[in-house]
Structure 1
Amino acid sequence: MKQRQLLPGCYVLLFIVLLSPTVASAADITQQLHRPLSNSSWRQSREEADSLVRIGEQQYASGFAEKTVASCLEALEIYHSIGDLKAQGVTYDLMAKAYLQLNRFKQGENALRRRLAIARDTKDFQAQIFALNNISTLLLQQGEAVAAGKTVEEALTIARHVKNIEGQGLSLSNLGLVSARLGDYNKAIKLYETALSFRRQTGDPIGEANTLNNLGDAYLAASNYPDTIGTYGAAMRIAKISRDRTNQLRAIDGLVIAHSAVGRYPRAFDLLEQRLILAQELQNLREELISFESYANLYEQLGNYPTAQNFYERAIILARTLADNKQEVRLVDKLTQMLKR
C-alpha cells in the first residue's frame, strides 16, 4: 500500500521474514506440565485466566500494548495448564495484535502461527481462515507480497470449500491489498468491489467499512481524489453508525490526506479535531499520539513551524507515557529535522 505522508502512525500493521520451519505445533504448545486439576480448581483457574484476558483487552483498547502482552502471557500459562485450546487461540489473537501495535513483528507472527496451529488441530475452519488472513496482512506489511498472496489464497480456498461468505469477503479484500502493494490498482479495485458484495451479504458493517477503506487507499494511491473522498466518506459513515472506532479513525486519516492533497485544509483540520475528540473519548493514548502527530504534520506542511513544534512535543510526551521508545526517538528526530529548516 502506498506510504502515507501525513499519518505514519496510523497504518500500522500491515499486521517479516518467515519463522523457522520448526514452528511449534499446538500439541507442543499445550503440553500438560501439571497433574489434572479438580473441577473446582479447574474452574477457579479458568476464571482467573479469563479475567486476565479481559484486562488485556482493556489495556489494548487504552493503548498499553506492553501490558496487554504481559496479561496474555500470564493467561496462556493458565490455559496451557488446564488444556483449554479454544481459549489459547483467542488469547494468541489478542497478543498478536498487541505485538503488532508495538511493531514487534516477529513475535506477532509467532503468535499468529501458534493460533493457526491450534485452529488446524481443532479443525476450526473459520479460525484458520482468519489466522491465514492475519498472517498474510503481516507479511504484506513487511514487503513480502508474494508470500502474502499465497497465504491469503490458501484462506480463500478454505473459505470457498466450506462456503464461508464472511471468509470469502475478507480474503478477497486482502487479495486486493496484495494487488495494490504490487502496484496493480485496477485489479485491486475490482477485488475490493467483489469483496464488498460478500460483506454486504453477511450484513457485516465492520468488514464493509474495512474494505471501503482499502478501496479508498487504492483510489488515493492512483491520485483519484474525488473517488478517494467519496469512498472514505462512506466508510466513515458506516463505521460511525456501527461504533466501529478503528475503521472510523482510519477513514478520517484517509480523508485528512485526501483533503490536504487538494488544498482543503479547513476540512482537514475539522476532521483532525473530530479524530482527537474520538481518541480522548476512547481514552486511547496511542490514538491521541497519532492525532497530535497528524496535527504536527499538517502545520509543518503549511510552514507553521511553531505550532507544529507544539504538537510534536505533545506527541513525544505521550510516547514517553506509553513507554514507546521507538516512537519517541522517531518523533524527536522529526522535530529536530524540522527545526533545522
Structure 2
Amino acid sequence: MKQGNFLSGHTILNLNSNLAKQQVNKLKHGSFYVLLFACLLSSTAANAIDITKQIQRPLNNSAELPLREEADRLVRLGRQQYASGYADKTIESGLQALEIYHSIRDINAQGVTYDLLASAYIKLGNIQEAEDVLRRRVGIARDNQDFQNQIFALNNLGTLLLQKGEPKAAGQTINDALVIARNLGNIEGQGLSLSNLSLVTARLGDYNQAIKLAETALIFRRQTGNVIGEVNTLNNLGEAYLIVGDYENTIGNYGAAMRLAKINFDRPNELRAIDGLVTAHSAVGRYERAFELLEQRLNIAKFLNSPTEEFKYFISSGELYEKIGNYGKARNFYQQALSLARNLDDIKQEAKLLYRINELQGR
C-alpha cells in the first residue's frame, strides 16, 4: 500500500528494523487480508446458465421430489467434503447439484449452491471461477429482491475483488451492500460492510479513514454478539495501526483479537494476531515477548498439523534472530524452513531461502 494519512494525536514511531519493515511490507501487499466470506459455501462453472433468464419460482410437482432430494444430498455431501479439506470434490458435488436445481428451476437452491462452489474455488485459488459464481449469486439475490443475501453476496464479491487487486471496484461493491444494510437497519450487515470497507480504504492508503471505519464496525459487531466478526475487525485495526507505526494501539487490538480467537478456537485469526504482535513487539525492542509469541505460533501449527504454518514460524524466527545479530541461529531456522519448502515443493521460497542462507555465511 502507499503511505496514507496518519492519525492526528498518535505517536508515529520509525520502523527502524529490517524485520519490522519486512513484516509491514507484507501487510501492505495484502498478506494478512482475510476474506470475510460470511455465507460462502459454493462455486460454479463459467458456462453456467444465465440466472437472469431463469424462471423465478421452483416447481413443486411431486415427480420432482426425488430430484430435489438428490440435489440436497449432493449439497450436504459437498459441505462435508469442504469441511474435510477436499475442495475439488466439493466442486464436483456442487456442480451436479446445480445441474439438478437448474432442471427443476429452484432459484433459491441455486443461490445456496453458488455459495458452496465459491468457497471451494477460493480454497483452490481459482479466483476467476469464484468471481463468476459470486456474481451469479448476487444476481439471484437481486432478482428475488432478497436484500439479506444481497448484503452478504456483495460483501463476498467485494472482498474477492480486493484480493484480485481491484480496491476501487471492491469499495463500490461493498458500499452497495452498506447502503442496503443501512436502509434495512441490518446491524450485522453494517458491521460486516464497514469492516470490509476499512480493508479497502487501507489498501487505498487512507489509514486514518480505515481506522475510523473499523472502529465503527466494531460497535456494530459487538451489538450482534458476532465474536468471529469482532476478531476479524480487531485484527484489521491492529494492521492499520501497525502500518502507521502506532504500536500501543497495534498491540492492544491484536492482543484482544488473539485472546478472543483463542477462546473461540478461531485458529486462523489467532495466528494472524500473533504475527502482528510479533512484528509490533520486535519493532519496539521487546524481543523476549516476540519469541514467546512465536513459540505459541509453533504450538498452534503443530496442533493443526500444518507444514505451511510451521514454515512461517521458521521464517519469522530466522528474521528475528537475524535482526538481533544472532546469524548462526538465523541460518539454523532458515535451514529448517528450507527443508519444509522442499517438502512443500515451493520452488520460489526455496530459491529465496538459499539466497538468504548464502548471504549469512560470511556474517
TM range (shorter): 0.7 to 0.9
How far did 1:307 drift? Answer: 2.2
Say which SS state the counterpart of residue 201 (structure 1) adopts: helix
CA 266–253 in structure 1, closer or farther in 2 if over 3 Å, else same:
same
CA 79–315 in structure 1, closer or farther in 2 if over 3 Å, else same:
farther
Asked whether the equivalents of residues 77 and 93 of structure 2 are also in contact (C-alpha less than 8 Å), the reply is no
Report the Cα distance in structure 2 between the residues aligned to 1:212 and 1:145, rounded to whole angstroms.
21
Report the counterpart of residue 323 of structure 1 in structure 2: none
Asked whether the equivalents of residues 293 and 315 of structure 1 are also in contact (C-alpha less than 8 Å), the reply is no
How far did 1:12 drift? Answer: 5.7
Report the Cα distance in structure 1 between the residues aligned to 2:279 and 2:94, rounded to whole angstroms.
35
Asked whether the equivalents of residues 191 and 220 of structure 2 are also in contact (C-alpha less than 8 Å), the reply is yes
Of 39, 44, 54, 2:80 maps to 54
Range with bigger deviation, 244-253 or 95-104? 95-104
CA 23–49 in structure 1, closer or farther in 2 if over 3 Å, else same:
closer
Report the counterpart of residue 290 of structure 1 in structure 2: 309
Say which SS state the counterpart of residue 139 (structure 2) adopts: helix
Q: What 5-or-longer segments of structure 1 have no aligned partner? A: 16-21, 321-327
Which protein is bigger by CA-based radius of gyration?
A: 2
Report the counterpart of residue 331 of structure 1 in structure 2: 349
How far did 1:266 drift? Answer: 3.3
Asked whether the equivalents of residues 166 and 202 of structure 1 are also in contact (C-alpha less than 8 Å), the reply is yes
CA 79–298 in structure 1, closer or farther in 2 if over 3 Å, else same:
farther
Say which SS state the counterpart of residue 247 (structure 1) adopts: helix
CA 88–260 in structure 1, closer or farther in 2 if over 3 Å, else same:
farther
Report the Cα distance in structure 2 between the residues aligned to 1:38 and 1:226, rounded to whole angstroms.
61
Between Structure 1 and Structure 2, how many residues are aligned? Answer: 318
| Matching residue's letter, 1:206 | I
Q: What do residues 173-226 of structure 1 show as CA deviations (whole Å, max 9, x unaligned)?
A: 122112211211111111111111111111111111111111111001101112
Q: What 5-or-longer segments of structure 2 have no aligned partner? A: 3-22, 37-46
How far did 1:74 drift? Answer: 4.0
Report the counterpart of residue 112 of structure 2 in structure 1: 90
Is it true that 1:299 corresponds to 2:318 in the alignment? yes
The 5-angstrom pairing of residues 1-341 of structure 1 reads: 4-5=24-25, 11=32, 25-27=50-52, 37-59=63-85, 64-283=86-305, 285=306, 288-301=307-320, 302=322, 303=327, 304-317=330-343, 319-320=344-345, 328-341=346-359
How far did 1:311 drift? Answer: 2.0
| Matching residue's letter, 1:330 | K
| Matching residue's letter, 2:32 | Y
Say which SS state the counterpart of residue 138 (structure 1) adopts: helix
Identity across aligned pairs (percent)? 52
Range with bigger deviation, 301-310 or 130-139? 301-310
CA 316–72 in structure 1, closer or farther in 2 if over 3 Å, else same:
farther
How far did 1:332 drift? Answer: 2.1
Report the Cα distance in structure 2 between the residues aligned to 1:66 and 1:330, rounded to whole angstroms.
25
Say which SS state the counterpart of residue 314 (structure 1) adopts: helix
CA 333–104 in structure 1, closer or farther in 2 if over 3 Å, else same:
farther
Say which SS state the counterpart of residue 84 (structure 2) adopts: helix
Report the Cα distance in structure 1 between the residues aligned to 2:180 and 2:333, rounded to whole angstroms.
52
Report the Cα distance in structure 1 between the residues aligned to 2:197 and 2:30, rounded to whole angstroms.
23
Asked whether the equivalents of residues 71 and 97 of structure 2 are also in contact (C-alpha less than 8 Å), the reply is no
| Matching residue's letter, 2:132 | N
Asked whether the equivalents of residues 95 and 108 of structure 1 are also in contact (C-alpha less than 8 Å), the reply is yes
Say which SS state the counterpart of residue 248 (structure 1) adopts: helix
CA 127–337 in structure 1, closer or farther in 2 if over 3 Å, else same:
farther
Q: TM-score, normalised by structure 1?
A: 0.81
Q: TM-score, normalised by structure 2?
A: 0.76
Report the Cα distance in structure 1 between the residues aligned to 2:89 and 2:272, rounded to whole angstroms.
24
| Matching residue's letter, 2:309 | I
CA 169–339 in structure 1, closer or farther in 2 if over 3 Å, else same:
same
Asked whether the equivalents of residues 64 and 104 of structure 2 are also in contact (C-alpha less than 8 Å), the reply is no
How far did 1:52 drift? Answer: 2.5
